[in-house]
């Protein structure tokens, strides 16, 4: 909803997906046009991905929940949103740590070759490659409870929220 006060994205266990999908998704949260989201650097070519417009999700607070299994495209979403001020909450010390872009080449015997064509970097010049994305808030309990506590959602309101979500 465009007037939401809070946005909670649970990307824990999300092994990722396509770069283009992550880029299009994160654009929903863009604080404005012309901002660098990330840069893909390959051997022969670098590509900068810029925001096109102000996103439709203007929540006052955004929280991204991740774990050690959050990888690839989910790390792109997490890193870009973290750069735009979102809190990253996890019970783990970091996400998976995959900052590379792969291409797939089908071969004649029905198999496929997967090879790295680029590394990606966030606007601040960092990459999750090999180290992952560290949380800004480490959850001592489960990450969702920590996120709701951070957002100031009372236990009574949580019960109401979950009863609505479970319908």
Listed residue (89, 88, 84) closest to 38, CA to CA: 84
Ramachandran angles phi, psi of 79, nearest 5°: -65, -40
72 is catalytic: yes
- Residue of 40, 70, 82, 98 marked active site: 98
Element (H, E) at 54: none
Q: How far apart are CA 115 and CA 128, in angstroms?
A: 18
- Residue of 40, 72, 74, 90 marked active site: 72
82 is catalytic: no
Q: Within 10 A of 151 (CB to CB), how many other CB atoms are there? A: 18
If DSSP codes are grouped into helix, strand and coil, which group holds residue 44? coil
Active centre residues (catalytic): 72, 98
């Amino acid at each position: 909803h465009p007037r939401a006060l809070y946005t909670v994205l649970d990307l824990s266990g999300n092994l990722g997906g396509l770069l283009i999908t992550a880029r299009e998704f994160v654009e929903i949260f863009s604080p404005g046009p012309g901002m660098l989201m990330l840069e893909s650097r390959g051997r022969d070519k670098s590509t900068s991905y810029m925001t096109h417009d102000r996103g439709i999700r203007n929540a006052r607070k955004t929280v991204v929940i991740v774990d050690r299994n959050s990888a690839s495209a989910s790390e792109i979403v997490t890193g870009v949103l973290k750069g735009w001020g979102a809190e990253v909450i996890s019970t783990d010390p970091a996400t998976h740590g995959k900052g590379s872009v792969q291409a797939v080449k089908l071969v004649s015997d029905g198999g496929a070759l997967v090879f790295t064509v680029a590394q990606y970097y966030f606007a601040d010049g960092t990459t999750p490659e090999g180290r992952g994305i560290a949380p800004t808030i480490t959850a001592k309990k489960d990450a969702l409870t920590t996120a709701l506590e951070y957002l100031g959602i009372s236990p009574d309101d949580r019960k109401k929220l979950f009863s609505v979500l479970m319908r």
